[in-house]
A and B are shown apart, each in its own frame.
Chain A
């Protein structure tokens, strides 16, 4: 079982920091339930402890790694491995003027995966004052490409033209 495979499979559906936190919390719940519940198979435990999304991901991992329904130890090992990999995930912080739809989140995430690589999730906050565009913070770098800043730049450099136009 390699880390690359884990990333590919697990992180495909985790795009935002909220999803990541939820998934991480679900993993912790599964791990804590594994040795509390006796005489139940893994699927039953998963059904009772996590939501549909995490359930789908973990089931898929169990199937891919051919873990037996009663092999708690293998599942424990797998989930701890995932937890360690989750710590390596990087956060791309974004301030947007709107509450992004899931469609927009998908497009942004795809762009990030394609241009910046895998293992990155989005941490999006809403700030209407930026008007549009985005303020991006990643790996300690801060970039302001908001519409507000662009507009201020235009108003600063093209005062005469704007005033003439206004007249």
Chain B
């Protein structure tokens, strides 16, 4: 393959320009790295100074706090000592007062209890009497109510029984009437059947009797009569 010289020349120029651009970029990057390292060092130094100051402050604060606590403990011990003495005196006085109060209160409560017991007994007795009365009244009321209810129930029962009897009576009457009608119908049907049978028998008997009892002369008369009727009925008028 043969490359055109003009093209080749262009390619060379392009590669050269590209190389220059890359060199410029590398230089710029190197300078930027240097700056970054400088800033990093400064930051590290500042941070170590801050840490040191913090540690100093904490140490001062711990020493001051220890002293305050120690002072406070001492003060507390003094107060407790004073208060123990005061406490013993107060307790004695209080015990004496309580003793007096207890005696006084005991006698008072004994009296009050006695009074209360009496009043309670009286009230209880009164309540008992009232309850007895109430129970008596309640029993009486209950008796009256019960008797009344029983009477009412009896009346209702009588009424219901009467109604039921009436309904049953009506039903029986109705059924009886229906049964009578059906019986009548059945009776009539049977009677009609019997009558039909009797009639048939009568007819057969008549036939038997009449058939055998006709004299010969009458037979001849009946035959001639039949011919006469047949003639009147059109016998012999047929078109041949």
- Report the separation of the CA atoms of residues A143 and B225 in the bound assembly, to the nearest whole angstrom: 12
Interface residues of A in 85-103 (CB under 8 A from B): 90, 94, 96-98, 100-101, 103
Is B120 an interface position by the 8 A CB rule? no
- Report the separation of the CA atoms of residues A116 and B230 in the bound assembly, to the nearest whole angstrom: 11
Q: Which residues of the partner chain B approach A97 to less than 8 Å between Cβ atoms? A: 211, 214, 219
Q: Interface size on B (CB < 8 Å)?
A: 29
Query: Residue of A at shortest CB range from B220?
Result: A104
State whether B226 touches A133 (Cβ < 8 A).
yes
State whether B226 touches A111 (Cβ < 8 A).
no
Is B159 an interface position by the 8 A CB rule? no
Partner of B223, one of A90, A133, A140, A155: A133
Binds B, one of A9-17, A30-38, A68-76, A145-153: A145-153
- Report the separation of the CA atoms of residues A78 and B234 in the bound assembly, to the nearest whole angstrom: 36
Is A58 an interface position by the 8 A CB rule? no
- Report the separation of the CA atoms of residues A46 and B240 in the bound assembly, to the nearest whole angstrom: 36
Our count of residue pairs bridging A and B at CB distance below 8 angstroms stands at 102
Partner of A151, one of B199, B207, B218: B207
- Report the separation of the CA atoms of residues A41 and B202 in the bound assembly, to the nearest whole angstrom: 67
State whether A151 touches B206 (Cβ < 8 A).
yes
State whether B231 touches A146 (Cβ < 8 A).
no
Partner of B233, one of A143, A146, A152: A143
Partner of A131, one of B195, B207, B220: B207
Known: A108-B224, A132-B222, A147-B210. A138 touches B236 (CB 8 A): yes
B117 → chain A closest CB, angstroms: 115
Partner of B238, one of A104, A133, A140: A140
Q: Which residues of the partner chain A approach B216 to less than 8 Å between Cβ atoms? A: 98, 101, 104
Partner of B203, one of A108, A115, A140, A152: A152
The 10 closest A-B pairs by CB, nearest first: A145-B226, A134-B226, A131-B211, A143-B230, A139-B238, A116-B236, A133-B226, A132-B222, A133-B222, A155-B203
Instruction: Please list the residues of chain A having a beta carbon within 8 angstroms of any beta carbon in chain B.
Output: 90, 94, 96-98, 100-101, 103-104, 107-108, 111-112, 115-117, 128, 131-136, 138-141, 143, 145-148, 151-152, 155, 159, 162-163, 166
